[in-house]
Chains A and B, each alone.
Chain A
Amino acid sequence: MKTLLFLAALALSPAEGQVTSLINPLTVDRVGKAETFFGRGQYSEALDVAQAALEGKLTWGRQARAYWLLGKSHEALGSLDKALSVYQVAVKLYPRDPGLLVALGDLFRKVGLDDRAMPQYQAALKADPDNATAHTALGGILTEQGLFPAATPHFKAALSRKPKDLDAMLGLGRSLAGEGKLEEAEATLGAGLKAGGDVDMRVGLAEVLKRRGKGPEAIEQLRLASLETKRADVRLRYAAWLLSAGRVEEGAGVLRLHIQEAPEDALARYLLGLEELRGGQKAFALKGFQAAADQDQSPFLREIARATLNLSSPHPGRGQGEGIK
């Protein structure tokens, strides 16, 4: 009799949750469990549990969440193709679930398919006009396309929902800068830095300060940024800005330091070569130019280096330029 009642209860039980777990401990809130694993970074476990949850009965909302966790776990484990399949199925089942639409959009964006990502974010915003993540992502795509006046309202909408969202603040700063609203951009990026913005916020601020003609302040921000990160691009840019501003000793110092750590860095050697050429150390300069001309990672650098070599060649027969002394 007891067994019969148990089976009847099981058949009539709600899809999942506390009540279910009272009846059958094996079907405890698996989605919640997957969530916990995911939050801890245990993606394989999250994946298994989410998969198992989807095989059982779930309410619609929980099922959508389970798909989301499954897709995100696949992504975290590097299986983007599997994540894509999961999201595509899920979005067909839940075409108005903003979380899934944003996840699919993010995946498209991750692989560089912004044109495929855009409709997902737009659909997410149609379902939930206040979705801050979708606003920020859409603003990001529009910014990359140069459509700044269209991007700015999205970042503002995101910030109205999440005033301390650093991604949205950075996006807004860049978008305003793109629109030419430099004062506003400076204020936004400055506020972003105060709110805990990372090196990109500082680089963004440096770019705006430079455009506003505040050269020394811009360089100082880039100096600070180069201390906050090990990214070569930030350090090389700092050196290039110093050289451009006529602070050649400092610029050359940064480049020499960088070359000690990365002796094969062609851009550093080219820029240092320019400074050496100016300082009369032509033999050193030519070596730097040659190194940049021989690499094939950066086509523009190669072309410029070759042209520079031609112009500064000691052998007029080999060079075609004006023979820079």
Chain B
Amino acid sequence: MKALLLCLLLGVPGLARGQESPVLSQDDILREFFWDRFQQLPRTERPRLALVLSGGGARALAHVGVLEALVRQGFDFDIVAGTSMGSMVGALYASGMSPSEIRDLTPKMNLAQRKIMTPTTMFGLMFAGSLISSDPIQEFVTKVLGNKRFDQLKRPFGCVATDLRTGEKIVFREGEVAPAVRSSMNLPGLLAPMEYRHRLLVDGGVVDYVPVDVAQMLGAQWILSSLTEGEITRQEIDNVFLTLQQVIDIRGSLLAQNLLRQSDIVVKPAAGHIGTFDFEKADEAIRLGVIAGRLAAPKAKEDLALKTLPAVLKAWQAR
């Protein structure tokens, strides 16, 4: 009501839109012009665009929506990096799958459906202290991608895990994709750490929630990060899962701040209310991702226009 009254008092800025057909602003027209010019540039003249996807469990499925909106706008990323659920979405995109193909797979990313969080495994966790196996994650990735190695993906891809013994960040850029994604998603306290090449690996989100640095390692020259932070102000934290979720979210928020400064554009889907394990809200997360991606696209295009202006003007004059 307040917002409406404010709009009314301020002279109704929305009157130009609504059911009226949109009238493009001068910035809209110029953005379109430069986006056309950017796309006409030879690949060698364009910066290498990277997409970096944060962790966040079910909430991070919003990345699928972000990707969908950006791809529709004509974005084509050269490099992909991800942590935890971001590594899953990122690996699928890097393999050449379209966002809509990834969207179709999201119901199968549900931990319950993957037989990870079932009454039996939860009973074992609560009463016998036995952590749950993350084998089904690896099986899922293998089923979708086959036994693909990183160098067989269509786009350079990297993901991160944490060595529980040393606290080191482990960056995967080579070898088989499926175990790398599995270890990147290996939620500590819930899923059993994974023994891999003499390392004991858990979720990469413990040390790197938004792996901007991995994208840089892979040669990124322009980085768009999608961050799905959780809302860390909660009234009730009354069970082990909410406690675990809260610890992960707080840690993620803290880790994200520094790394995000190295991103050219940060997209933040308003999915903070969706919990790490709320896989039944996957559709909502994706929808919020689409909205965020669509809103971020103009700014991203403007940023690229400014950064490639010398090359664009040079090409323009050479015509």
Contact partner of A266 among B21, B26, B287, B302, CB < 8 A? Answer: B26
Stretch of A11-19, A107-115, A124-132 that contacts chain B: A107-115
Q: How many residues of A contact B (CB 8 A)?
A: 55
Within 8 A of A (CB), among B282-298: 287, 290-291, 293-294
B contact residues around A270 at 8 Å (CB): 30
Stretch of A2-10, A90-98, A229-237 that contacts chain B: A229-237
Is B319 touching A240 in the complex (CB atoms < 8 A)?
no
Is A278 touching B316 in the complex (CB atoms < 8 A)?
yes
A246 to B37, CA, bound (A): 11
B169 to chain A, nearest CB (A): 34
A contact residues around B18 at 8 Å (CB): 106, 109-110, 112
A212 to B293, CA, bound (A): 23
Contact partner of A304 among B8, B14, B15, B309, CB < 8 A? Answer: B309
B37 to chain A, nearest CB (A): 7
Smallest CB-CB separation from A271: which chain B residue? Answer: B33
B contact residues around A314 at 8 Å (CB): none
Is B314 touching A324 in the complex (CB atoms < 8 A)?
yes
A contact residues around B21 at 8 Å (CB): 170, 198-200
B contact residues around A300 at 8 Å (CB): 27, 30-31, 302, 305
Is B26 touching A278 in the complex (CB atoms < 8 A)?
no
User: Is A55 at the interface (CB under 8 A from chain B)?
Assistant: no
Stretch of A45-53, A58-66, A305-313 that contacts chain B: A305-313
A278 to chain B, nearest CB (A): 5
Is A278 touching B317 in the complex (CB atoms < 8 A)?
yes
Contact partner of B24 among A137, A150, A233, A322, CB < 8 A? Answer: A233
Query: When A and B form their complex, what is the total count of cross-chain residue pairs whose Cβ atoms lie within 8 Å?
Result: 131
A116 to B36, CA, bound (A): 35
Known: A267-B26, A270-B30, A298-B27. A113 touches B7 (CB 8 A): yes
B213 to chain A, nearest CB (A): 28
Within 8 A of A (CB), among B3-45: 3-5, 7-8, 12-15, 17-19, 21-34, 36-37
A contact residues around B293 at 8 Å (CB): 146
Interface centre among B4, B293, B319, by most A CB within 10 Å?
A: B4
A304 to B22, CA, bound (A): 24
User: Is A301 at the interface (CB under 8 A from chain B)?
Assistant: yes
Is A147 touching B30 in the complex (CB atoms < 8 A)?
no
Chain A binding site: helix, strand, loop or mixed by DSSP? helix
What's the interface size class on B, roughly?
35 or more
Is B17 touching A112 in the complex (CB atoms < 8 A)?
yes
A contact residues around B309 at 8 Å (CB): 304, 307-308, 311
B contact residues around A271 at 8 Å (CB): 33
Interface centre among A109, A147, A308, by most B CB within 10 Å?
A: A147
Is A321 touching B291 in the complex (CB atoms < 8 A)?
no
Binary contact track A284-296/B, C-beta < 8 Å → 1, others 0? 0000000000000
B contact residues around A243 at 8 Å (CB): 33
Is B294 touching A321 in the complex (CB atoms < 8 A)?
no
Is B4 touching A108 in the complex (CB atoms < 8 A)?
yes
Within 8 A of B (CB), among A251-270: 266-267, 270
A147 to chain B, nearest CB (A): 6
User: Is B128 at the interface (CB under 8 A from chain A)?
Assistant: no
Is B290 touching A146 in the complex (CB atoms < 8 A)?
yes
B contact residues around A277 at 8 Å (CB): 313, 316-317
User: Is B85 at the interface (CB under 8 A from chain A)?
Assistant: no
A231 to B29, CA, bound (A): 13
A226 to chain B, nearest CB (A): 13
Q: Which residues of A contact B (CB under 8 A)?
A: 80-81, 84, 106, 108-113, 116, 137, 140, 145-148, 150, 167, 170, 178, 180, 198-200, 231, 233, 236-237, 240, 243-244, 246, 266-267, 270-271, 274, 277-278, 297-301, 303-304, 307-308, 311-312, 321-322, 324-325
Q: List 18 interface pairs A-B (beta carbons < 8 Å), by A numbering.
A: A80-B8, A81-B5, A110-B18, A111-B8, A111-B13, A111-B14, A150-B287, A167-B19, A200-B21, A233-B23, A233-B26, A240-B30, A300-B31, A300-B302, A300-B305, A304-B309, A308-B313, A324-B317
**Seed contacts A233-B24, A240-B30, A266-B26; 16 additional CB < 8 Å A-B pairs:** A80-B12, A108-B4, A110-B15, A112-B7, A113-B3, A145-B294, A146-B293, A237-B24, A237-B32, A240-B33, A244-B36, A267-B26, A277-B317, A299-B27, A304-B30, A307-B306
Q: Which residues of B contact A (CB under 8 A)?
A: 3-5, 7-8, 12-15, 17-19, 21-34, 36-37, 69, 72, 287, 290-291, 293-294, 302, 305-306, 309-310, 313-314, 316-317, 319
